[in-house]
Amino acid sequence: MCIFLPVVFILHCILPGIRLKNALLLLASVLFYAYGEPVYIILLFVSTLLNYFCACLIESSKYKKVILTLAVICNLGILIVFKYTDFILGTVNTLTGLHLPLPQIRMPIGISFFTFQAMSYVIDVYRGTTKAQKNYAKVLLYISFFPQLIAGPIVKYHDIAQEIDNRTQSLEGVSLGIRRFSAGLCKKVLISNTMGLVADQLFGASAGNINAAGAWLGAISYMLQIYFDFSGYSDMAIGLGWMFGFHFKENFNYPYISGSIREFWRRWHISLSGWFLEYLYIPLGGNRKGKFRTVVNKMIVFLCTGIWHGAAVNFLFWGIYHGCFLMLEEYVPWIGRKGSKLKAVFQHIYALLVVCIGFVFFRADTMSQGLFWIKEMFTGFTWNAAAMSFAVQQITPVFLVTLAGALIACCPVIKTVNNKKWYAPFAYVCSLLGLVVCMLSLASGTYNPFIYFRF
């Protein structure tokens, strides 16, 4: 697969006509998904066909709401069967004492992303936001387009419908795309992987080897790992889109500079936040029916957000946890309102602390481990030799240099210099050097998990 992208890109550049270019991208997308999930490519086709026919029927039938309801039920049913069956049956067994067998269905890669993307298309057709696409191949291309197929960002059909039918590739777009792709790959390979090694070492250690120092080091390492993993993949998807003439919306906007949890969710995984805002929060009533109803609606949204991320109690708790702090911010205006610089500092610390604690539960294998980790972070001041030695072993020179780079990259430093004349050539040189380093790292076959592939 190492030559997959260059071959597809070159062919896309030289093929005449949008039809042939679309056929190439569709074939490449299907092969890309089949390479990782050869069996579940059938599921991708079924999901796409379902939503294609439902959208066409909605546009031509007088039973629009009935068809939409069936489409949503079928889409959610697919998610439940392939992602939540074991969790549901396991919960039933725990609560009732039954011993129902667990089918242990292997979850298709990226099922949450392409299912939500497909649902947004059908809902938009129902609302009249977009017209039903009569060409099935174009719908399949929209849902299966390989740059963002398995880990987002979630793209709405009306945002790229025109570019499916008519797009252009320019030298500037390709060069910016390569630069953005390289930056995302560097985020993933050079920062996220380094942070991930430390986080995995600490979260995988025995309880006796963890004290406050190790717990905080593990929590901060994972907090940086997940941000640079997911934002790195989003950058790569956006960059690849530019290279092929597509323009996806931004998915991250420096979330760790937030001064509240409300602001954090305006900056983190923007496509998912926007999806829930548009297709769940607003239909529930949004903030139009009083403060109490607003709080309830937000709690429902974040309960669903937690469930979307995974079939485990800790994901459910993570969603409720964020919902509780959003509720708090509705009733304690001091947290969310801007004020003096001193107040802004405290708000920033508050937001980072809440997010960091939340990600502990996101990373923990069980709720018990998450609770243990939080206990050690705030009470584990034992400083025994074994625990201290284990924590110090993780702080290598490579880790310290990467940590410094990560902390700088979390801040909008680039925004202050991107208008300077020297920045563009400097950025291109750095991106190419970074690309070479990443390729050497990937060729060595080292640790390279993508966290969001499992969602």
Residues designated catalytic? 309
CA distance 188 to 12: 26
Select from 106, 210, 188 the least CA-distant residue to 446. 188
Q: Determine phi and psi for 433, rounding to 5 degrees.
A: -65, -45
Rounded to the nearest 10°, the torsion over CA 129, 131, 136, 139 is -20
- Other CB atoms within a 10 A radius of the CB of residue 60 amount to 10
> Cα 357 to the chain's mean position, in Å?
19
Residue labelled with tokens 């190439």: 24
Please give the span between the terminal C-alpha atoms of the chain, in angstroms, as a whole number.
Answer: 22
Do 73 and 137 meet the contact criterion of CB atoms below 8 Å apart? no
Do 42 and 120 meet the contact criterion of CB atoms below 8 Å apart? no
Q: Determine phi and psi for 134, rounding to 5 degrees.
A: -80, -15
- Reading the block at residue 213, the tokens are 């120092």
